Structure formats: structure tokens, C-alpha cells
Structure 1
Amino acid sequence: MKKTLEEFKAFALRGNVVDMAVGIIIGGAFGKIVSSLVSDILMPVLGLLIGGIHFNELKFVIKSAVVEGGKVVSPEVSVNYGNFIQVTVDFVIIAFSIFVLVKVISKLSFKKAEEEKAAPPPPPPANVQLLTEIRDILKDGQAKKE
């Protein structure tokens, strides 16, 4: 059991897992902001431009609610296509934002890779240089003997 807990701790504290968790939390918050933008700002303006339509009220009623004595006996059954339109607009905005973000990150990482490629490799350590010189001297000595 202790080994399992240690393995889990090592897994949870790795950089990639923590980065992913932060990304998920920020993504959730970003989704809420976009949902508010769409439902509270874009859709009312779009509905007004179309003719005073409230998208969240657009629906196709399949079966009306049954009310007896002021109590709902059977609730209304409807297809809420206005809400679907609103959620679709949410998705498109979020998907486009993520696309742009990934594109920017990809471009930045490509530039970084190009800079790393263009940079000359560092010189080998002194001991490796010395061993290379000794090898070359020994090769020259062998070539002269033959």
C-alpha cells in the first residue's frame, strides 16, 4: 500500500500532470466566461437583430404540460433547439480560441527549435578533446608503420 502511495505521489507531482491540471482548471473557467459571453451578450444582441427572439426560449413542444388544480401533473416535453444553438455557438468560440492558442504555441516552439538548430554545438569537454587528440596521434603512428 505504501509503495502505491509513493508511486501516486511521484506521478501526481511530475511537471506534466501539474501542468495538465492547471490547464483543465483554467479551461473550465474559460468555458464559463465564453458561456456567459454567448448567453448574456451575443445571443441577446443577435436575437434583437433577428427580431426580438430569445434563443433560450426557442423550442418545439412535442407534448404540452398537463395541469390540474394548479399542479403540474405531467411536465411539458419539448425539443429546446434554441438552447442547442446557444451551446453550439459556445463550442465554436471555445474551439476557435483553442485552435488559435495551439497555433501560437506551435509557432513559438517551432521558432525555439529553429534557434536551437542554428546554434553551434558546444565544444566537447577538455578530457574528450585530449582523448580525441591521442586517438588521432595513435592513428597517424599506425598509418606511418604500414
Structure 2
Amino acid sequence: MKTLDEFKKFILKGNVIDLSTGVIIGAAFTSIVTAFTKGIVEPLLALAGGGPQPKLTIPIMHKLVEVTEKNEAGQNVTHTVNKLIELDIGSIIGAIISFLITAAIVFFVIVKPMNKLMALADRNKPEEAPSPEPADIKLLTEIRDLLKNK
């Protein structure tokens, strides 16, 4: 029962709610970034690459692969095909660009304004008065000073 109570306390903490809200908003925001990347960034990359879709790959090796297809008579026919294995650098660059766009938007739309609001809230908050010294510390300080003077 103690574990269940501990779990309830963990789930009902504000941090968990904030985090789950952030994940949901982030997932929704992904579609905006994807649309921006596909609608604006990829066409600009295509202009630079000269084709409709820039394919930035690095060939690694050729590999013989067996492929099974149906012929005109409906029978399965197996034959060997020479397949090129390559690294797709273009998709990695696209993912990095997408990440940087997401990070920039989150920073300038959420983090920076939130930091300004927090700074304004801190500036408008009255300063706390220093807490009074406890009586026993004051008394011990006086005793120490008296002993020094003797």
C-alpha cells in the first residue's frame, strides 16, 4: 500500500503534469515543423541539388540479393539482383535541419519570452527582510565577545 501511495504522490506532482503536457504539445508541434521542412526547406534543397528531390547518398557496396516475383503465368520465379547499398546522408541532414528549426522556434517562442516574464516577476517581487537572529545565537555571540575582552 505504501508503494501505491508513493506512486500517486509522484503522478500528482506538478512536474509530471507539466512534462506530459510538454510531450503532447511537442508531438503536435512536430507536424508544423514537418510541414515547414517539406514545404520550404526541401524545395530550397532541391533547387541547390538541381533535381526534384535531392538524393544525397554515399554508395558503400553492391550486394547480390535474391528476389522472388510472379511471372505472367502466376508462378513464383526467383532471380538474383545486384543491389547497391548506400548511406542516406540526405535524410540525416533533413533530420538535423528539422531539429534545429524546432529548437530555434521553441527557444524564441517559448523559452526566451518565459525568461523575460520570470525576470519581470522577480524584479517586481518585494525583497524579503533578513530573518532575525535566533536569541541563542545572539546570546552566544555576546558571550564570545565578553570572553575575548577579558
Which TM-score bucket, shorter chain as reference? 0.5 to 0.7
Measured after TM superposition, the shift of residue 23 of structure 1 is 0.7
Q: Of the candidates 98, 121, 124, which is equivalent to residue 115 of structure 1?
A: 124
Output aligned runs, 1:44-63, within 5 Å: 44-50=42-48, 51-55=50-54, 57-63=55-61
Output aligned runs, 1:36-115, within 5 Å: 36-38=35-37, 40-50=38-48, 51-55=50-54, 57-68=55-66, 76-100=84-108, 101-115=110-124
Q: Which runs of 5+ in 1 are unaligned?
A: 122-146
Q: 1:9 to 1:75 in 2, by over 3 A?
A: farther
**Equivalence for 2:11:** 12
Q: Which runs of 5+ in 2 are unaligned?
A: 69-78, 130-150
Amino acid at match of 1:5: L
Identity across matched positions, percent: 33
Distance 2:41 2:105 in 1: 18
Amino acid at match of 2:105: S
- The question of whether the paired residues in 2 share the 8 Å contact of 1:34 and 1:94 is answered with yes
Measured after TM superposition, the shift of residue 67 of structure 1 is 4.4
Distance 2:62 2:36 in 1: 32
Q: Give the TM-score, by structure 1 length.
A: 0.66
Q: CA RMSD in A?
A: 2.7
Q: Could you say which structure has the higher helix fraction? A: 1
Amino acid at match of 1:60: I
Q: 1:72 to 1:16 in 2, by over 3 A?
A: farther
Amino acid at match of 2:59: V
**Equivalence for 1:140:** none
- The question of whether the paired residues in 2 share the 8 Å contact of 1:47 and 1:53 is answered with no
Aligned residues: 117
Q: Could you say which structure has the higher strand fraction? A: 2
Amino acid at match of 1:25: I
Q: Does the residue aligned with 2:51 lie in a helix, a strand or coil?
A: coil
Amino acid at match of 1:36: A
Amino acid at match of 1:46: L
Q: Give the TM-score, by structure 2 length.
A: 0.65
Distance 2:80 2:35 in 1: 31
